[in-house]
Amino acid sequence: MSSYAITGASKGIGREFVRQLAADTNNTVLAIVRNPESPEIAELTSKHPNVHAIKGDVTDPQSVLEAAAAAAAVTGGSLDVLIHNSNAVDVASMSYTPTQMPFDAQAMRASFEPSLSTNVYGGLWTTNAFLPLIEKGTQKKIVHISTGMADTAFIKKAAVSVAVAYSIAKAAVNVQVAKYAVELAPKGIKVVAVSPGWVDTWEGK
């Protein structure tokens, strides 16, 4: 029996993680979402008794701590795998190249804030909040969803100059993951960043 916690589980890749993992009835799957009573989550929990919807907003550190406590109550205090999948972007600036980014402090912050809050700040808060559970788990794995858009070699090869804030935030995630991997390796905890490639998600249609 394995236990999994997935953030950003209400749609897209996160929701599919929940659905696929829940197909094995031996798994305990914790769907961390802002609204546990949403129709999307209700559908999953009704179909899969091993799915537990837990309220949690990764941009709110207190909410993340409460989600970790709720997860511990379900699993008995341990967790095998944490998947930090939450992500948000400023849609208005996604098509901008670096030279098109707003020359205005407030507008620039607005471009970066959604991606930084969910990926970087949220990644730190979520990892730290759930770490005590991971330490008691069997598999001891932490996965952060990244992107090829954060890979400088890929950016140059594919000639992708847009999605500036999103790509920079995900690049920060890669560094963050490397730091965690070094720190937590002596405890037998594996921390990795994974790029799923282009996926036809709710955002990416």
- Catalytic positions: 166, 170
Helix residue ranges per DSSP H, the chain: 12-22, 39-47, 61-75, 105-115, 122-135, 152-158, 164-184
Which residues have CB under 8 Å from 26's CB, separation 6+?
A: 1, 2
β-bridge mates for residue 190, sequence order: 141
Which of 81, 78, 61 lies closest to 6, judged by CA?
A: 81
Which residues have CB under 8 Å from 145's CB, separation 6+?
A: 13, 83, 84, 85, 87, 193, 194, 195, 196
- Separation in Å, CA 137 to CA 25, 140, 179, 195: 18, 6, 21, 24
**Alpha carbon distance 21, 14 (integer Å):** 11
